[in-house]
Amino acid sequence: MTNPLLAEWQTPFALAPFDAIADEDFAPAFDAAMQQARAEVAAIAENPDAPTFANTIETLEASGDALDKVLSVFFTVAGADSNPKRQELQRDFGPKLAAYSSELYGNKALFARVEAVWEARETLDLTPEQQRLLMLTHRAFRRAGAALTGTEEARMRAIMARLAELGTAFTQNLLADESGWHLELSQADLEGLPDFVIRAARAAGQEKGMDGPVITLSRSLIVPFLQFSPRRDLRRKAYQAWSARGAMGGATDNRAIAEKILALRAERAALLGYASFAAYKLETEMAKTPEAVRDLLMAVWAPARAQAEADAETLTAMMREGGINGDLEPWDWRYYAEKRRQAEHDFDEAAVKPYLSLEAMIGAAFDCANRLFGLEFTPLDVALYHPDCRAWEVTRQGRHVAVFIGDYFARGSKRSGAWCSAMRGQAKRPVPQAPVVINVCNFAKGDPALLSYDDARTLFHEFGHALHQMLSDVTYESLSGTNVARDFVELPSQLYEHWLEVPEVLGRHARHVETGAPMPPELLDKVLGAANFDMGFQTVEYVASALVDLAFHEGAAPADVMAREAEVLRGIGMPPAITMRHATPHFAHVFAGDGYSSGYYSYMWSEVMDADAFASFVKAGGAFDPDRAQALERHILSRGGTEEAATLYEAFRGRMPGVAALLKGRGLAA
């Protein structure tokens, strides 16, 4: 019987036949696809014909298709619906993939062909996109160590294999800590909690096979518990478990793993001739240098810390009025901030959530995409990897554009956070292919599922990434969609969040889940008026994480990551009642892989642009100005990585932005 992962998929839109794939299929399919990929690379390297763009660069671009197909399915289920077998396969596949990458970029005959095409580039009459693909391919070989020889080459291979193992271990340890802890609540412990939190806690208890409600370490459950529970002892217990993920001691402790990862990254950068891993990593980003990153972060840090310190005084006074002496602690901040928000903005999140059902917010995201870009979404009845998942066909003027999959609910088998991935990217060569895009979130399950305003922003954020994938219109898959500089990739996602703030969007879609009545105008005003509430806290916890990430990679690797983290936080004057958004032992952005290492700042770098970009809509004719929407698609969303990010942004906006719009948008401007 043919392995379903290796067969041609006779399914609607050639989607993965999830109902026919078993965990036992992955290893043999992986081995066979890896063998095929190696043969394809060998054929390019050993081609007796003189190297050309077509027989070297384009053929290399098209190689490994079977392997990509297998891995797209595997990594989708491993991240969103893990189990012991899939975790075992992750540990097995990671080093093998690292070894394959080392072989590919260490193939001297192949590199010689790439180098020959690169040297002849001025004579080849290439299109701008072909020139870009050639440059990126050549640069990738150079940055991977293709020019290394002897012991240095061997050491680089060993480093990459070990980093793959450590990144997988970091992720699995974190998942184990997150899924292994829960706090059982008695009836008395539910006092003061709004109905939506109680329902979510009961659903979490059912998911864990418990009789009663529980609090888990899912952000969508623990954050509202910290906001609303009057029980300071329970808030402290929950917060300490949440902040201790990856640092609970024993087999799942990530602190030593983080130290090993940083040491290996520093060694890798040194082998390639860079002063630090940050210098190596930022070379290809918009920021270019660690100094530019620090300048941006510190320009935002000063006003954010001042605001947070002023807020801390107010919250401490509220605590004193409630009869509690001592210091304001991290497990107190959200509780008293919520009380303050209710008092100052007459804002009660429990009153808002019935208007922000998951169904309504999906509809809002789709409606905005229709009004801006003409996209239409039709539900699909297809087999997916989990019963919670849903799929839609995306069309424009009757033409198929993409398949969009949404996986919205938290569960023990899913890693924390939210993300967007493409099971298949858009391309025109070697054959035309439309993208298959997945948004994964961790919302609390309910009947119906109700979102906080922050949850709704997350949904819009990830859908902004999905639009970047779906509207891509380039020739080569490696240049399509979100294959852009890390500090540019968050622009479309963060920009799309702004449409949730448009009064007419909430006015149209925020309807009471039971009555269907629109959100009352006075409540809508409160929601939008409170959008920047507690922004000092939010900015401080984020920027602190970004500065620690940069410090870890900017110089020599620290022997003690927790001591280095503490040193950085002392140096910037971290307010004592606020902690990093992602403490080192659970900083998966940075340690699960290279993705955001030295790059966690990129959300803020992109926010400088997204604030400026949305301002251009407002100035032009409003949030749905057709000319601005057309320019956004033409210059950014459709272009992928076919040009430098700054070039694309300047084509859209006419200039690069400053930090003023960001500070104004966050309510931090003087």
Q: Check pLDDT > 70 for residue 133.
A: yes
> pLDDT value at position 468?
98
Confidence of residue 670 (pLDDT cuts 50, 70, 90): low
Give tens-digit pLDDT for 502-520. Answer: 999 999 999 999 999 999 9
Distance CA 558, CA 548 (A): 12
Query: What is the overall mean pLDDT for the chain?
Result: 95
Domains of the chain: 12-147 (1.20.1050.40), 181-244 (no CATH), 251-347+535-600 (1.10.1370.10), 354-529+603-665 (1.10.1370.40)
> pLDDT value at position 659?
86
Residue indicated by tokens 């803020």:
604
- What's at 208, amino acid-wise? K
Non-local CB neighbours of 618 within 8 Å, separated by 6+ positions: none
Give tens-digit pLDDT for 553-600. Answer: 998 999 999 999 999 999 999 999 999 999 999 999 999 998 899 999
Q: 452-486: b or e for each residue (b if 16 or more CB lie within 10 Å)?
A: bbebbbbbbbbbbbbbbbbbbebbbbbbbbbbbbb
Give tens-digit pLDDT for 382-416. Answer: 999 999 999 999 999 999 999 999 999 999 899 88
Q: What is the mean pLDDT of residues 474-489?
A: 96
| Residue 424 bridge partners (DSSP) | 436
Distance CA 436, CA 16 (A): 10
> pLDDT value at position 666?
87
Three-state SS annotation for 321-359? HCCCCCCCCHHHHHHHHHHHHHHHHCCCHHHHHHHCEHH
Non-local CB neighbours of 505 within 8 Å, separated by 6+ positions: 364, 367, 368, 499, 623
Distance CA 158, CA 235 (A): 44
> pLDDT value at position 591?
97
> pLDDT value at position 459?
98
- What's at 147, amino acid-wise? A
Q: Which own/partner pairs from 208-215 qualify as long-range (CB within 8 Å, at least 24 positions apart)?
A: 208/182, 208/412, 210/182, 210/184, 212/184, 212/185, 212/186, 213/184, 213/185, 214/182, 214/183, 214/184, 214/185, 215/182, 215/183, 215/185
Give tens-digit pLDDT for 214-227. Answer: 999 988 899 999 99
> pLDDT value at position 220?
85
pTM, 2 dp: 0.89
Selection from 133, 33, 125, 1 nearest residue 477 by Cα: 133
Q: Treating both helix axes as pointing N-terminal to C-terminal, what angle do 84-106 and 23-45 enclose, rounded to 10 degrees?
A: 0
Confidence of residue 545 (pLDDT cuts 50, 70, 90): very high
Share of the chain above pLDDT 70, in %: 100
- Here the tokens at position 92 are 């097995």
> pLDDT value at position 447?
85
> pLDDT value at position 412?
86
> pLDDT value at position 667?
87
Q: Treating both helix axes as pointing N-terminal to C-terminal, what angle do 84-106 and 150-180 enclose, rounded to 10 degrees?
A: 160
Catalytic residue from among 462, 477, 490, 607: 462
Residue indicated by tokens 């008092």:
343
What is the DSSP code (8-state) at residue 402? E
Q: Check pLDDT > 90 for residue 665.
A: no
Give tens-digit pLDDT for 356-386. Answer: 999 999 999 999 999 999 999 999 999 999 9
Q: What is the mean pLDDT of residues 90-118?
A: 95
Q: Check pLDDT > 90 for residue 530.
A: no
Strand order in the sheet with 399-409: 376-380, 390-396, 399-409, 436-443, 419-424
Non-local CB neighbours of 146 within 8 Å, separated by 6+ positions: 105, 106, 107, 108, 111
Give tens-digit pLDDT for 189-209. Answer: 999 999 989 999 999 999 899
Q: What is the mean pLDDT of residues 640-658?
A: 94
Give tens-digit pLDDT for 52-74. Answer: 999 999 999 999 999 999 999 99
**Residue 291 appears among annotated catalytic residues:** no
Q: What is the mean pLDDT of residues 96-106?
A: 93
Q: What angle do CA 103, 54, 469 make, to 5 degrees?
A: 75
